[in-house]
Structure 1
Amino acid sequence: MTAIAIVVFAVAYVLIATEWTHKLLAALGGAAVLLALGVTDSEHAFYSPDTGVDWDVIFLLFGMMVIVGVLRRTGVFEYVAIWAAKRAKGSPLRVMILLTLITAAASAFLDNVTTVLLIAPVTLLVCERLGINPVPFLIAEVMASNIGGAATLIGDPPNIIIASRSGLTFNDFLVHMTPLVVIELAVFTLVLPRLFRGSFAVDPERVDDVMRLNEREAIADKVLLIKCGAVLVLVFAGFIGRSLFGVAPSVVALLGAGLLVLISGVKTRDYMGSVEWQTLLFFAGLFVMVGALVKTGVISRLADAVGAATEGRALLATMLILVVSAVLSGIVDNIPYVATMSPVVLELTKTVADPSQANALWWALAIGADFGGNATAIGASANVVVIGLALRAGYPISFWEFTRKGIVITAITIAVAAPYLWLRYFAFA
């Protein structure tokens, strides 16, 4: 069964990467084969929190897609697009930097999937106004969301798993992760002009047209905008106050979507048309395939091998966890990987006398899993969502177009993180 799980996942991954067939067909086909051959079953695929479809992610996406669908009718995305373009003086590079920094900051306090769902429509409108290709901007933003989400306990799902296993608090993440994220974002901003060289040419006449626009005129329905704003405040409060209220983000998103549909009066076809059904089904198929790898012990054995290779040496363990987590999180979803790796890291921390160095193992796991999500087009949930939105808007992003950039950014961010971990927890501890 283990061999079958590996082969099916590998074949599906190759099909997704090479785009020989539609990624949805590859994901659902791989899941169907695993179910048909008995590698996994309905109980493990649909009901297990460790090996099944992560319904929290599916319904979080669904709820936020409905909210975005209603919000789009207010004209607020057009407003923000014009505002951003004018603040950047029409410079595509400055627009990219502004939007990526906004995305990174928002991702620290919201789920990064929620953030990209809100920022992607703005980006598409900005680029449409300036007459430029939005693909580089969308790729840059989703990478910024994965970097920014690492800053806090609630910014990225793997951080929540790590906190529950390690006992680390919200303030611990602020103190230890946020400084690194600030450094990474500074480096990321400096890399953007080279990474997307040739993407910043713009017609001066387009810039002049944008600068003459009045963003206030873009608001089509002020009453609906007020209703959307009130619901979004409640939703964001639910996200941020998760530990206080004890309500999962998926439930918050669904409640917010239901409330907004109830009070907005928007027709069903208008907001349901914004739901990316292909993206949701792709996630379901991917979760089943990765869950089969977890069920058959593939990921667990990889995690155990990391523990055995370190032989109790804290610095070596930290660097190995960092690199292995970055690599594997680019291949499989980082949520089941972190869930599987956390017990191994917990055992490793018991062999380290210095508490600061013991915690460094947890920070290495968080950094590797969060930043490693940028490595490939399916490395993080936000990546898949943005690619789906871009395809729907008529700007397809291929697996390799994203991954060529993603590998570079992952390598750079991990290269910056390694000396940060060494200096802070070992050299000057």
Structure 2
Amino acid sequence: MTVIAIVVFVVAYVLIATEWTHRLLATLGGAGVLLALGVTDSDHAFYSPDTGIDWDVVFLLFGMMVIVGILRRTGVFEYVAIWAAKRAKGSPLRVMILLTLITATASAFLDNVTTVLLIAPVTLLVCDRLGIDPVPFLIAEVMASNIGGAATLIGDPPNIIIASRSGLTFNDFLIHMTPLVVIELVVFTLVLPWLFKGSFAVDPERVGDVLRLNEREAIEDRALLLKSGAVLLLVFVGFVGHSLFHIEPSVVALLGAGVLVLISKVPTRYYMASVEWQTLLFFAGLFVMVGALVKTGVISDLAGWLGSATQGHTLLTTMLVLVVSAVLSGIIDNIPYVATMSPVVLQLTHGVADPAQANALWWALAIGADFGGNATAVGASANVVVIGLALRAGHPISFWDFTRKGLVITAITIAVAAPYLWLRYFAFA
């Protein structure tokens, strides 16, 4: 069964990477084969929190897609697009930097997927106004969301898992992760002109047209904007305080969507048209395939090998956790990876006398999993969502268009993180 799980996953991944077939067909086909051959079953695929579909992710996406669909009818995305273009003086590079910094900051306090769902429509509009290709901007923003989400306990789902296993607090993440994220964002901003060289040419006439626009005229329905803003604010409060309220973010998103549907009275066809059904089904198939790897012990074996390979050398173990986490999180979803790896890291910390160095293992796991999500087009949930939105808008992003850039950014961010870990927890501990 283990061999079958590996073969099916590899074949599906190759099909996605080469785009020989539609990514949805590859994932659902792979999931179907695994279910048909008995490698996994309905209990594990649909009901298990460790090996099945993460319904919290699916319904969080669904709820936010409905909210964004209603919010789009207010004209607020057009408003923000014009505002951003005018503040950047029409410079595509400055627009990219502004939007990526907004995305990274928002991702520290909201789920990455929620952030890109809100920022992507703005990006598509501002690029349309300037007459430039939005693909580089969308790729840059989703990478910024994965970097920014690492800053806090609530910024990325793997951080929440790590906190529950390790006992680390919200303030611990602020103190230890946020400084690194700030450094990474400075480096990321400096790399952008080189990484997307040739993407910043713009017609001066289009710039002039944008600068003459009045963003206030873009608002089409002020009453709906007030209603949507109030609901969205409550949803954000629910996201930030979900651990205090004991309500999962997915439930918060669904409740917010339901309330907004009731009070907005927007016809069903408008907001349901904004739901990316292909993206939701893609996630379902991917979760089933990754769950089969967890169920058959493939990921556990990899994690166990990590524990024995370093023979108790804490610095070496920390660096190995960092690199292996970055590599594997670029291939499989980082949520099941972190869920499987956390017990191994917990066991590794028991043999470390210095508490700071013991915690360094947890930081290495968080950094590798969060930043490693940038490596490939399927490395993080936000990546998949943005690719789906771009395809729907008529600007397809291929697996390799994303991955060529993602591998570079992942290599750079991990290269910056490694000396940070060494200096802070070992050299000057």
Q: Specify the code of the residue in structure 1 equivalent to 2:132.
A: I
Alignment partner of 2:377: what SS? Answer: coil
SS at match of 2:394: coil
Q: Secondary structure at the match of 2:275?
A: coil
Correspondence list, 1:31-180, <5 A: 31-180=31-180
Q: Deviations over 1:246-267 (max 9, x none)?
A: 1000000000000000000100
1:30 is displaced (CA, Å) by 0.1
Distance in structure 2 (CA, Å) of the matches to 1:190 and 1:303 = 35
Q: Does 1:376 align with 2:382?
A: no
Map of 1:198 onto structure 2: 198
5+ residue gaps, structure 1: none
1:15-65 deviation digits (Å, cap 9, x = unpaired) = 000000000000000000000000000000000000000000000000000
Matching residue's letter, 1:31: A
1:315 partnered with 2:308: no
CA–CA separation in structure 1 for the residues paired with 2:14 and 2:90: 40
User: What amino acid is aligned across from residue 30 of structure 1 in structure 2?
Assistant: G
Which residue number corresponds to residue 356 of structure 1?
356
Distance (Å, rounded) in 2 between the aligned partners of 1:314 and 1:103:
35
Q: CA RMSD in A?
A: 0.2
Can you give the 5+ residue segments of structure 2 that lack an aligned partner in the other structure?
A: none
- State the match for 2:335 in structure 1: 335
Whole-angstrom CA distance in 1 between matches of 2:259 and 2:285: 30
Distance in 1 between the 2:383 and 2:161 partners?
20
1:223 corresponds in structure 2 to 223
State the match for 1:404 in structure 2: 404
Q: Give distance in 1, aligned partners of 2:121 and 2:297.
A: 40
The 5 Å alignment of 1:405-420 reads 405-420=405-420
Deviations, residues 335-367 of structure 1 (Å, cap 9, x unaligned): 000000000000000000000000000000000
Letter in 1 for 2:99: L
Question: Matches of 1:342 and 1:320 in 2, distance apart?
Answer: 14
Output one character per residue of 1:305-324: Cα deviation in whole Å (capped at 9) or x when no partner.
Answer: 00001111110000000000
- Alpha-carbon deviation of 1:242? 1.1
Aligned ranges 1:211-360 → 2 under 5 Å: 211-360=211-360
| Separation in structure 1 between the aligned mates of residue 78 and residue 171 of structure 2, nearest angstrom | 36
SS at match of 1:356: helix
Which residue number corresponds to residue 184 of structure 1?
184
The residue type equivalent to 1:147 in the other structure is I
Matched residue, 1:389: 389
Which residue identity is paired with 2:127? C
Separation in 1 of the partners of 2:29 and 2:413?
Answer: 34
Aligned-partner Cα distance in 1 for 2:243–2:8: 38
Q: Quick one: which amino acid aligns to residue 191 of structure 2?
A: V
Residue of structure 2 equivalent to 1:21:
21
1:399 partner amino acid: F
The one-character-per-residue Cα deviations of 1:58-103 (angstroms, maximum 9, x if unpaired) are 0000000000000000000000000000000000000000000000
3-state secondary structure, aligned to 1:213? coil
| Further displaced range: 239-248 or 140-149 | 239-248
**In structure 2, distance between residues paired with 1:240 and 1:343:** 26
CA drift at 1:224: 0.1
Distance in structure 1 (CA, Å) of the matches to 2:403 and 2:308: 31
Distance 2:20 2:27 in 1: 13
Alpha-carbon distance in structure 2 between the residues aligned to 1:278 and 1:240: 28
* SS of equivalent to 1:74: coil
The DSSP-based 3-state class of the residue aligned with 2:199 is coil
- Distance in 2 (CA, whole Å) between partners of 1:311 and 1:81 is 54
Q: What whole-Å deviation, never above 9, does each CA across 1:212-242 have from its counterpart, x for those lacking one? A: 0000000000000000000001000000001
Query: Aligned-pair distance for 1:186?
Result: 0.1
Opposite residue 85 of structure 2, the aligned amino acid is A
TM superposition shift of 1:200:
0.1
Tell me which amino acid in the other structure corresponds to 2:416.
Answer: V
Q: Distance in 2 between matches of 1:92 and 1:126?
A: 9
How many Å separate the matches in 1 of 2:243 and 2:345? 24
Give secondary structure in 2 for the equivalent of 1:396. coil
Question: Residue type matched to 2:80 in 1?
Answer: V
Identity of aligned residues (%): 87
Offset of residue 269 of structure 1: 0.2
Using the size of structure 2 for normalisation, the TM-score is 1.00
C-alpha separation in 2, matches of 1:46 and 1:262: 30
Tell me the matched-pair count.
429
TM-score by length of 1: 1.00
- Deviation >2 Å, runs of 4+: none
Rounded to whole Å, the distance in 1 between the matches of 2:174 and 2:243 is 16
Q: Letter of the aligned partner of 2:285 in structure 1?
A: G
Deviation at 1:276, TM superposition (A): 0.1
- Name the CA distance, whole Å, in 2 between partners of 1:396 and 1:240: 33
Return the alpha-carbon distance in structure 2 between the equivalents of residues 167 and 311 of structure 1. 25
- Quote the Cα distance in structure 1 between the aligned partners of 2:161 and 2:258: 28
